[in-house]
Structure 1
Amino acid sequence: MAALQLFYLFVVSSVVASRQIIRTLPGFDGDLAFKLETGYIGVGDNDDVQLFYYFIKSERSPEDDPLVLWLTGGPGCSGFSGLVFDIGPLSFDYENSKVNSPKFLLNPYSWTKVRHSFSLFFYFVNGKFN
């Protein structure tokens, strides 16, 4: 419960207008089997630095499970890679993917099976970190 309170204190107070619940993704058949929220967190005196985040609610016991902060992405690397290569609930379906049309499967070893996952990504504008 404390993890969710920390998440909402940190995120919701800053990004109320920019957060979205994602229910489907291209390349994944049907609705997502987990709760995925995305948005931007403004940082700095004027929110001039924008950090993009993914929040994935624990699939086991949301009231009791801890929160993991996962920092990934950066110049030349999409933060989406964390969802499909690292700890996230999706993995590539290599057998059925095509070059310009990737397919996804549920990852049975995802950390979201036992924890909330909160990932932050730096947002670059005009080639510079703002």
Structure 2
Amino acid sequence: MGKEYLKLLLLLLFLLHHVDSASIIKHLPGFEGPLPFELETGYIGIGEAEEVQLFYYFIKSERNPAEDPLLLWLSGGPGCSSLSAFLLENGPLTIKLDGYNGGIPSLVSSTYSWTNVIANVIYLDQPVGSGFSFSKTPRVDIPSDTGEAKRVHEFLQKQLFKKSQKGYVLGNPITSNGSPINYRIPFSHGMALISDELYEV
């Protein structure tokens, strides 16, 4: 399956190479007919001179986009494109492997898409260098969780509607094989998920 995924990724890179800002994508190679959902892709410039360009895929909820929450999906890394989640985990399309014999793999609608049941989803290629995200200048800072968090925060400030609901979901969030349970409460407090009063109890 790696070759099929790579071929599709290269074809998408060719098609999206000249995307400078938000574009509505109505057709994708390997999918018959127009897409049955709204797909927006593009770059958001980050930093004072917008030297970092973060690439995203935004899919509106297929239920009620105005009322459904917005979910930001980060595939993690270092270096994993969110295209993998879009096509292989919870996106509205998946790669059809049955009958594949080379060339561009076929794409089919997925019955497991989160946009079908719960949310609008932004898939973000992050950290810089993942997927289609890139930097226009040599990086002078050492990559860090703090630096990447600041970039994602700026992306959200530039991309989002102020009225969107806030929240988060973590998939496989273990950061230590030791005792991560001891960090849950301080982490939740530090992320403003629980109040000072509840934290003191």
* TM-score w.r.t. length of structure 1: 0.77
Letter paired with 1:40: Y
Unaligned residue ranges in structure 1 (runs of 5+): 1-16
Deviation at 1:38, TM superposition (A): 0.1
Partner residue, 1:68: 71
Q: Label 1:51 to 1:74 Cα distance change in 2 as closer, same or farther (>3 A).
A: farther
**Contact 1:74–1:121 under 8 Å retained in 2:** no
Q: Deviations over 1:59-97 (max 9, x none)?
A: 011111001100127566443212111110001111133
Aligned residues: 113
The answer to whether the aligner puts 1:118 opposite 2:136 as a matched pair is no
- Larger helix proportion of the pair: 2
Q: Label 1:70 to 1:103 Cα distance change in 2 as closer, same or farther (>3 A).
A: same
| RMSD of equivalent CA atoms | 2.2
**Contact 1:88–1:111 under 8 Å retained in 2:** yes
**Contact 2:55–2:125 under 8 Å retained in 1:** yes
- Larger strand proportion of the pair: 1
Letter paired with 2:75: T
Letter paired with 2:23: Q
The answer to whether the aligner puts 1:83 opposite 2:86 as a matched pair is yes
- % identical equivalent positions: 48
Q: Deviations over 1:33-70 (max 9, x none)?
A: 00000000111111001100000000011111001100
Shifted more, 19-28 versus 67-76: the winner is 67-76
Unaligned residue ranges in structure 2 (runs of 5+): 1-19, 127-132, 141-201
**Contact 1:96–1:103 under 8 Å retained in 2:** no
Partner residue, 2:99: 96
User: How do residues 1-130 of structure 1 correspond to structure 2 at under 5 angstroms?
Assistant: 18-72=21-75, 77-113=80-116, 114-122=118-126, 123-125=133-135
* TM-score w.r.t. length of structure 2: 0.51
Deviation at 1:119, TM superposition (A): 1.3
- Could you say which structure has the greater relative contact order, defined with CA pairs below 8 angstroms and 6 or more residues apart? 1
Aligned residue for 2:125, secondary structure, equals strand
Distance 2:34 2:40 in 1: 14
Between structure 1 and structure 2, the one with the greater Rg is 2
